[in-house]
A and B are shown apart, each in its own frame.
Chain A
């Protein structure tokens, strides 16, 4: 089976812009979670989608949003980018919610 794929792998944006990141889960996985990873804060949970419904949400501002499509592919969007949004954004899929996570390689976002 193909693993989790994320696009793009690297992105440079300017403060105030918005960005959309994409994630394709492992075939058959219905749960997709998003995480932000920074050296200072570690791995922080953003949100989880299961069968197109948001199941859980982490403690992030409303500028961070996501959605899941009927084929389980997911996108996350960050509006009005801030310098502090620079991070590695990881997508993970699993068969069921809160189960073993299979991570993609991540998207490295740099905000200047």
Chain B
């Protein structure tokens, strides 16, 4: 059983469209991180959010941490083929990081 549930599992969109992926849990996390992994490589950290309600922007990516610190979302505006990859969220609590199963995003040119 995954402590963190990510949805959708797969997402395929056309270049220029917007997308949102979700990360939900019944547990409260002290921090939540988002990573992107490309085939054949390790995940790369995108952002860390720590405060309930926090919103962070990274160019065309917008990350939000839920008020109760149990959920998060990642929104990509005007997606590009370079955004293709596996998006993973990870929640930190009790000296352990728990990863979600990930959302595979494919952006078609």
Could you tell me which A residues sit within 8 Å of B by CB distance?
4, 33, 35, 42-43, 45, 48, 55-56, 90, 92, 97-106
Contact = CB atoms under 8 A, between A and B. Distances in A.
Interface of B: 2, 33, 35, 40-45, 48, 88, 90, 92-93, 95-102
B97 A98 contact: yes
A98 B42 contact: no
What 10 A-B pairs come out closest when comparing CB atoms?
A103-B42, A42-B101, A43-B99, A98-B92, A103-B43, A100-B45, A90-B42, A56-B96, A105-B42, A98-B97
Task: Determine the main DSSP class of A at the interface with B.
Answer: strand
Given A98-B96, A106-B41, 9 more contacts: A33-B97, A42-B100, A43-B43, A43-B99, A98-B97, A100-B33, A101-B33, A101-B45, A103-B35
